[in-house]
Amino acid sequence: MKLRQIAHARAGDKGSIVNISLIAFDETDYPLLVEKVTGEKVSGLFEPLIMQPVERYCVPSLGALNFVLHRAPTESVTRSLNLDAHGKGLSFVLLNMEVDIDRD
């Protein structure tokens, strides 16, 4: 299934850094997120965009993960030529990720 079925997300930016929070709709799904949405997998997903592996922070009290993406220095909000210079829409790239979870 797509992550969007079990979690929501928000992207924010600071210079060339983009952070994407990933929050379980139901806190009991948080361990699944921890298990399935590894830093390695998310690094692979954003590979064309990032200069170093994605950092993953776990916040169990919120049932949330926080991913930090380091883009190239030319890809900051004040420098990028992308239509989405901030990276605001990147949260939906993450939510579109397929995870192997069986659920009816």
Binding site for another protein (CB under 8 A): 4, 8-10, 12-15, 17, 19, 21, 23, 25, 46-49, 55, 57, 59, 61-64, 66, 68, 74, 76-79, 81-84, 88-90, 93, 96
- Cα within 13 Å of Cα(17), Cβ side: 8
CA dist., res. 64 & res. 24, Å (int): 6
Is the CB of 51 or the CB of 62 nearer to another protein? 62
Count CB neighbours of 6 within 10 A.
21
The minimum distance between CB 34 and another protein, in angstroms, equals 14
